[in-house]
Amino acid sequence: MDIKEDLRERATVVETQRPWSRFAVDADGWRRSILAAAQGSATMVGLWSDGGAIYMALAEEPASELVVVSLACPDAHFPSVALSHAPAQRLERAIADLYGLVPDESPDTRPWLDHGRWGLSHPLGQHQAVAGEGAPYAFRAAEGAPLHQIPVGPVHAGIIEPGHFRFAANGETIVRLEARLGYVHKGIEALMAGAPLAEACHLAARVSGDSTVAYATAFARAVEAALGISVPERAHWLRAIMAELERLANHFGDIGAICNDASFSLMHAHCGALRERVLRCSGSLFGHRLMMDMVVPGGLARDLDHDGERHLTALLADIRLHFPPLVRLYDSTATLQDRTVTTGIVKAELVRQYGAGGFVGRASGRAFDARRSPGYAPYLALDLDIPVRHEGDVDARVRVRMDEVDQSLSIIEQCLGRLTREPVRTDLAPGRLAAESREGIALVEGFRGDILVWVRIASDGTVACCHLRDPSWFQWPLLEAAIEGNIVADFPLCNKSFNCSYAGHDL
Amino acid sequence: MLAELATRLAAVGRRKLGRSLSIREVDAGSCNGCELEIHALNNVYYDVERFGLRFVASPRHADVLMVTGPVTHNMRQALERTYHATPDPKWVVAVGDCGFNGGVFAGSYACVGGVSAVLPVDLHIRGCPPTPIALLQGLIALVESCSEGR
């Protein structure tokens, strides 16, 4: 790995981070890392802080590992990444809001998560009490005689999460969209700090409810890496089964919802039924329809019984019977495709620059999937195709997800065939804790894309610091690009085809 | 279970509401888990619209505000405005453990707390998230208890 070789010569390896190395760099090393991301020789997959330093995770695709670089910020300043690499903008603004670290020469100094309503500034840094009445937000101007603005949200018309969209439109055509997020910011990183592992795991499982298995797995894997714990093989197979059930449920729900936004409610009804059957099966197998709190550091909180395997096999057969006709229905409905084809196109170059994961990236030619690269157990031992399309429109995003349904079914089947008989949990005995603090990092593929979790565990076994980066951070900005030149009426359709997380992004 | 609830709701709904109760859902800080299960009420298995329970797009059309999440400071004003935009008589249902008391997010600098810290709550439906069946049971309880006006 080029960056790693370069860093070995110039930077200090921090030994406490597992499984991938962290390099403590100086300002020059920091700028070289920014350059690597900006020039495209590496993809920036995360940017975060613990208050004392700033961290950047990079991947050289296809990546077998991530590289983390960190820069100490004793004077609370750091060279802005966003100045040369736009995907860092909102992450940098969030760091400035939460920690009070200043990105020098940042191109956008507006607050992001901080709406001026917390009653304090820099809650995770040197905080001070401030007025909490809210601050006005300066949206980017789009001016000219024919333009008008359409403000939408934060409370939306459907049963969805809150966020604000500001459209500048010329008649029906959208000239600019700017999103304002942060409405559901709950202060999760602050709640994590000092929390015992079990409590922190509950929080991780509630970062984004639709990805609870993926988040809990990412958190558990980071903790297990930090503490050097190996998980029983059976737990790996079962985690994958749960993760794929979660993916299926979300894909069914969203494929139906996208079609519904194009006024084709028949698909919505059928897909909704499939989703419900997946949730009911998950509920009967694991005692929770969304499988919340099943994945824990060390393994699983609950095992699957013999009956469970039978139910799963029946579910797979049920889906294989009922889903293909729905794909054919989608294929043969011209009025539906009239809405989805060529709508909301994301260019391949943008997807690459932003390192956009999930179906957003894969529908625009970026064949990245964390299950394969860097890869983790048990996926490296499984047959898995990564469906990729190049059109980048709503239709491509739908079709990638349809293809992923087939892959998930195959993965569950493969896992069922290899289930070993053994316990599903390794005890996190206190003896495993080291005298010094340890760091762990993990990249896990949720239904929406790759979730990054970085955790530092204190010597007393509590979480000292934890950062959870939702895939949406690198997808939300692309929605703004995708919608340009489309009509206002197609926004719900485009938005649903992205289905970015508000909760996961706002933390 | 579902059939039994459906019969009860159909009877009481017709008597008390003339077959119509409009619900406006507001996510005031949820992780989205509650929204997923509220959504499920509209799927073909539960199909609550057959009882006259409708999710509407505007608070102006609503009888019930169904609120999720620990109320975040960043959502508080939007929630209050939504409440004031809802015509009387109205009822507030707080959904989920977070809506009850802030759940795992209680005590955060960014959260106000449960829904009752901001609005008068008529009914809590607990759970993380509550299942569609639990949501249905809660709605039946609400319909049964809300006699002529308030």
CA A303/CA A238 separation, integer angstroms? 8
Q: What pLDDT, on the 0 to 100 scale, is given for residue B16?
A: 64
Q: Which H helix or E strand runs over A259?
A: helix A233-261
Q: 């329809």: which residue's tokens?
A: A289
Q: What pLDDT, on the 0 to 100 scale, is given for residue B149?
A: 47
Contact across the interface for A134 and B129, Cβ inside 8 Å: no
pLDDT surpasses 80 at B13? no
> Average pLDDT of A38-54?
96
Q: 């090393």: which residue's tokens?
A: A29
List the structure tokens of A483: 């919608």
Residues 128-147 of A with CB under 8 A from B: 132, 134
Instruction: Please count the CA atoms within 13 angstroms of the CA of B107 that sit on its side-chain side.
Output: 7
The residues facing A445 across adjacent strands are: A450
List the structure tokens of A375: 């890869």
> Average pLDDT of B124-143?
94
The residues facing A467 across adjacent strands are: A454
- The share of chain A scoring above pLDDT 70, in percent, equals 98
Q: What pLDDT, on the 0 to 100 scale, is given for residue A6?
A: 84
Q: What angle do CA A285, A291, A296 make, to 5 degrees?
A: 110
Each residue of B68-91: pLDDT tens digit? 999 999 999 999 999 999 999 999
pLDDT surpasses 90 at A450? yes
Contact across the interface for B32 and A208, Cβ inside 8 Å: yes
For the residues of A48-59, what is the DSSP string, one character each? EE-SSEEEEEEE
Q: What is the pTM of this model?
A: 0.96
Q: What pLDDT, on the 0 to 100 scale, is given for residue B68?
A: 97
Each residue of A344-372: pLDDT tens digit? 999 999 999 999 999 999 999 999 999 99
Which of A215, A223, A177 is CA-nearest to residue A196?
Answer: A223
> Least CB-CB distance to B78: which of A119, A155, A202?
A155
Which of B56, B63, B123, B117 is CA-nearest to residue B96?
Answer: B123
Residues 24-83 of A with CB under 8 A from B: none
Q: What is the 3 state secondary structure string of A343-385?
A: CCCCCHHHHHHHCCCHHHHHCCCCCCCCHHHHHCCCHHHCCCC
CA A237/CA A308 separation, integer angstroms? 14
Cis ω before A471 (30° cut-off from 0)? no
- Of A87-101, B19-33, B116-130, the range with the lowest mean pLDDT is B19-33
CB B137 within 8 A of CB B95: no
pLDDT surpasses 90 at A420? no
> Average pLDDT of A450-472?
96
pLDDT surpasses 90 at A433? no
- Model ipTM? 0.95
Q: Any CB–CB contact under 8 A between A287 and chain B?
A: no
Q: Which parts of B2-150 fold into alpha helices (H)?
A: 2-17, 33-40, 73-85, 96-101, 132-145
Q: What pLDDT, on the 0 to 100 scale, is given for residue B3?
A: 76
Q: Any CB–CB contact under 8 A between A279 and chain B?
A: yes
> Average pLDDT of A323-342?
97
Residue A475 backbone phi and psi in degrees, to 5: -115, -35
> Average pLDDT of A373-378?
94
CA A461/CA A196 separation, integer angstroms? 7
Q: What pLDDT, on the 0 to 100 scale, is given for residue B5?
A: 74
- Which residues in chain B are contacts of A182 at CB distance < 8 A? 74
Q: What is the 3 state secondary structure string of A154-194?
A: CCCCCCCCCCEEEEEEECCEEEEEEEECCCCCCCHHHHHCC
> Least CB-CB distance to B30: which of A123, A188, A503?
A503
> Average pLDDT of A312-334?
97
